[in-house]
Amino acid sequence: MANLFIGSLAYATTDESLEAFFATVGPVKSARVITDRDTNRSKGFGFVEFEDEANNQKAIDELNGKELDGRAINVTVARPREDKPRDGGRGGNDGGSFRQRSW
């Protein structure tokens, strides 16, 4: 089931207002504004999932670039999360913090 990625959200946008906005296209299964874990403030993006995936393209066509809470939003199909390395992508060196000298 594909979700929609909603970008450029206003900080005032809530799960409820996001859901109400997208419900104009069709029944919404879930709507989530992503918030910062520490401050609980919106990160400016969210995800919407329709009960009927056929509404995804309709929502992109009708709502992309439209204004929600004073901001023009971006609506695209969400890409699946990539499996990122647990070390933050820095590359492992077998746990040692010192580089071996080659001389």
CA 41 – CA 96 distance, rounded (Å)? 37
- Report the share of the chain in percent with pLDDT over 90: 74
The answer, yes or no, to whether residue 90 has pLDDT greater than 60, is no
Q: Burial, 24: exposed, middle or buried (Cβ in 10 Å; 0-12, 13-18, 19+)?
A: exposed
Which pLDDT belongs to residue 67?
Answer: 98
Residue ranges and CATH numbers for the domains of the chain are 4-77 (3.30.70.330)
Which pLDDT belongs to residue 93?
Answer: 52
